[in-house]
Chains A and B, each alone.
Chain A
Amino acid sequence: MNKERRDFIRKTGLGVLAGICASSGLIQAFALEETVLPAWDEKPVPGKIRWGMLIDTRKCRQDCKECVAMCHHVHNVPDFGNRKDEVKWIWKSSYEHVFPTSTQQFRTKEVLERPYLALCNHCAESPCTRACPTEATFKRWDGIVSMDYHRCIGCRFCMAACPYGSRSFNWRDPREGIKEASVDYPTRMTGVVEKCNFCSDRLVKGLMPACVESCPEKALTFGDLNDPRSDIRALLESNNTMQRKPELGTKPSVFYII
């Protein structure tokens, strides 16, 4: 093979390779569409951050639903008005339902009648991510249990595995149940599971989770459980707190002050 031909083949090959890289976004400078993935290129050391939430149930008002309303609006969570098709990320329930295995006897009437928020616990030892056969639900570097709606096959194994009932399935087209669509978060399709994402979509923009921001009583505190100087750690150390079903060893990242 003469040198000219070899050169030609080499240059063509390099050209094709560069074209593929550029169009696929591997070479940032030439990318047709810029790929911005802070979670990817600025990936911190695993285990360094663990997002968590502390709910001061003493401050939670009976008649207030601001956190639920804002979360469900921002994330385009549908409302069909029936229990069977229900999709929910955060909701208010009672003491006996949120803490069914905790002490029920001789609690004051006020404690038993107070509303209690339920949401995904973003467990450090999450049974749902273990059960998922496609890694459609997975644990992020910052402790958030996340969902890939495009990979989920809808087998609902994570729902059976979750001991907190925090996961919902799209039994029907969710778009029919959205009254006022939000542009901040994509809608989902029929046949996939969804749940609270600890507002990973807002954290990346430097915002607090929707429920935390919307609470008029400032009952919710969000922060890094692994940072000893964080507000949440200070509150955890100065208060007596509870987790849901700690006996299962899931290590929930959501704590409650009763």
Chain B
Amino acid sequence: MIEKALKGTRNYWAWIASLLALIAVGITAYNRQRWFGLTVTGMGRDISWGLYIAQFTFLVGVAASAVMVVLPYYLHNQKVFSKTVIIGEFMAVSATLMCLLFILADMGRPDRVLNVLLYPSPHSMVFWDVMVLNGYFIINLVSGWTVLGAERRGIPPPAWVKPIIYLSIPWAVSIHTVTAFLYAGLPGRHLWLTAVLAPRFLASAFAAGTSLLILVTLIIKKVSGFDTGKEAREKLAVIVTYAGLINIFMIGTEFFTAFYSNVPSHKHSLQYLFFGLEGHYNLVPFMWFSLILGLGSLAVLLVPGLKTSPKWLAAACAGLVVSIWIDKGVGLILGGFIPSPLDEIVDYFPTLTEVSVTVGIWAIGMLVLTLLLKVAVAVKTQE
């Protein structure tokens, strides 16, 4: 089936070539990082996680959002999603792959990564995260590929794949819950030490991830002519709207608890992110941009009729993706480290090397997604 990815137009190959070029840039930068150590990044003793872990957190959400098409299609028999399901599953595959690569890129000793399996430590949330992420990767690749293979031969999918698909539904929830537990169980990091973190992660995931799925279906329609259906996109947009509103609501509850209780350690990170603290205003414009963009995008989706126009829909979805990427990918991770355990404020700026590695990993993810979707579209359109 994979041979279908080897036939394409000039534009297709140009796209592949540019992704390969970006991957080469990323590998070169990663080489530098391996040679000199993580000192080439903007991270340091006080802010010990940065861009890599932020991307990881955001992408777990993208991966988990596949459940928003798998669940209605397989459990509620919503036939409208018949063409979208495979795209959601393959997006989950490539997003999970990027998650694993970002963890690897962040490690000081990636050569020892197998120690996680050699010395399994159930008391550590990292152990569970590695388990569920690898499991989710395999589940989605196997179920997506098998169903697609059966479709190509014009036969019903084998019976054994059904339980795996059902398993992927709670599994999607688990990957983002465990990822939230990475942060939500640490004493002394008050921005993270909140029971609402896991639910908020799920809400923002279903908003941003599903938005990205809508955007991908629009791009596929544009470049290949394969349309997953306007109705499917509109239904997804409804999911995006509710998930986005719940996410905003939960941000609000965080503010209430921190500021009404007036406990300084609960307020500090939010103050730093949204208003600036002790003369440090680095992230303030980003956070307000994120909040206003998020609210604006939701407003577009809420106005009746606007989301039926592909242009408005694409704009609102892109807005939400960017908004949540900033909120979850930048604000949440950095905000957790500021102020430091010794109540000091240190600013963080990613370096060129760090950004290049990040771009390289995104390019790997997009390459894998392109190849998988090329196969999927070829099978669906019976080329």
For A153, the chain B residues whose CB sits under 8 A away are: 107-110, 112-113, 115-116
Are B37 and A101 in contact (CB-based, < 8 A)?
no
Are A157 and B126 in contact (CB-based, < 8 A)?
yes
For A71, the chain B residues whose CB sits under 8 A away are: none
For A87, the chain B residues whose CB sits under 8 A away are: 45
Are A191 and B109 in contact (CB-based, < 8 A)?
yes
In the assembled complex, the Cα of A191 lies from the Cα of B342 at a distance in Å of 23
Q: Per-residue CB proximity of A133-166 to B under 8 Å, as 1/0?
A: 1111000000000000001111111011111110
Asked if A98 is an interface residue, CB under 8 A from chain B, the answer is yes
Asked if B188 is an interface residue, CB under 8 A from chain A, the answer is yes
In the assembled complex, the Cα of A86 lies from the Cα of B336 at a distance in Å of 20
Q: Per-residue CB proximity of B159-174 to A under 8 Å, as 1/0?
A: 0000000000000000
Given contacts A156-B49, A169-B45, are A151 and B115 in contact (CB under 8 A)?
A: yes
For A159, the chain B residues whose CB sits under 8 A away are: 48
Are A156 and B186 in contact (CB-based, < 8 A)?
no
In the assembled complex, the Cα of A190 lies from the Cα of B37 at a distance in Å of 6
Q: Which residue of B lies closest to A191 (CB)?
A: B108
> Which residues B192-207 have CB closer than 8 A to chain A?
none
Are B188 and A245 in contact (CB-based, < 8 A)?
yes
Say which residue of A84, A100, A135, A173 sits within 8 Å of B44 (CB atoms).
A84
Which interface class (under 10, 10 to 19, 20 to 34, 35 or more) fits B?
Answer: 35 or more
Asked if A232 is an interface residue, CB under 8 A from chain B, the answer is no
For A163, the chain B residues whose CB sits under 8 A away are: 186-189, 341
For B186, the chain A residues whose CB sits under 8 A away are: 127, 131, 160-161, 163
Are A169 and B123 in contact (CB-based, < 8 A)?
no
Say which residue of B124, B182, B187, B340 sits within 8 Å of A165 (CB atoms).
B340
Are B48 and A156 in contact (CB-based, < 8 A)?
yes
For B113, the chain A residues whose CB sits under 8 A away are: 153
For A168, the chain B residues whose CB sits under 8 A away are: 45
In the assembled complex, the Cα of A248 lies from the Cα of B116 at a distance in Å of 28
> Which residues A47-64 have CB closer than 8 A to chain B?
none
Are B342 and A165 in contact (CB-based, < 8 A)?
yes
Q: Which residue of A lies closest to B186 (CB)?
A: A161
Number of interface residues, chain A, beta carbon within 8 A? 48
Are A192 and B126 in contact (CB-based, < 8 A)?
no
Asked if B38 is an interface residue, CB under 8 A from chain A, the answer is yes
Say which residue of B106, B126, B336, B344 sits within 8 Å of A131 (CB atoms).
B126
Asked if B262 is an interface residue, CB under 8 A from chain A, the answer is no
Identify the interface centre among B107, B119, B183, B187: most chain A CB within 10 Å of its CB: B187
Asked if A249 is an interface residue, CB under 8 A from chain B, the answer is yes
For A85, the chain B residues whose CB sits under 8 A away are: 39, 44-45
Q: Per-residue CB proximity of B36-53 to A under 8 Å, as 1/0?
A: 111100011110110000
Asked if B121 is an interface residue, CB under 8 A from chain A, the answer is yes
Are B341 and A83 in contact (CB-based, < 8 A)?
no
For A134, the chain B residues whose CB sits under 8 A away are: 112, 115-116, 118-119, 121, 124
In the assembled complex, the Cα of A93 lies from the Cα of B103 at a distance in Å of 33
Q: Per-residue CB proximity of A163-192 to B under 8 Å, as 1/0?
A: 111001111110000000000000000111
Say which residue of A118, A173, A245, A249 sits within 8 Å of B37 (CB atoms).
A173
Are A169 and B124 in contact (CB-based, < 8 A)?
no
Identify the interface centre among B46, B118, B337: most chain A CB within 10 Å of its CB: B46
Asked if B220 is an interface residue, CB under 8 A from chain A, the answer is no
- The minimal Cβ–Cβ distance linking A11 to chain B, given in whole angstroms, is 36
In the assembled complex, the Cα of A97 lies from the Cα of B341 at a distance in Å of 8
Asked if A132 is an interface residue, CB under 8 A from chain B, the answer is yes
Are A154 and B107 in contact (CB-based, < 8 A)?
yes
Asked if B306 is an interface residue, CB under 8 A from chain A, the answer is no
In the assembled complex, the Cα of A250 lies from the Cα of B187 at a distance in Å of 9
Are B46 and A154 in contact (CB-based, < 8 A)?
no
Asked if A130 is an interface residue, CB under 8 A from chain B, the answer is yes
Are A84 and B342 in contact (CB-based, < 8 A)?
no
16 cross-chain CB contacts under 8 A: A83-B45, A84-B39, A86-B45, A100-B265, A101-B265, A127-B186, A152-B112, A153-B107, A154-B108, A156-B49, A160-B336, A162-B188, A163-B188, A165-B342, A190-B37, A249-B187
Q: Which residues of A contact B (CB under 8 A)?
A: 83-87, 93, 96-98, 100-101, 118, 127, 130-136, 151-157, 159-165, 168-173, 190-193, 245, 248-250
Starting from the known contacts A153-B115, A163-B189, 17 additional A-B residue pairs (CB-CB under 8 Å) come to A83-B46, A84-B43, A86-B44, A133-B116, A134-B116, A134-B118, A153-B108, A153-B110, A156-B49, A160-B49, A165-B342, A171-B37, A172-B38, A172-B39, A191-B38, A191-B108, A192-B109
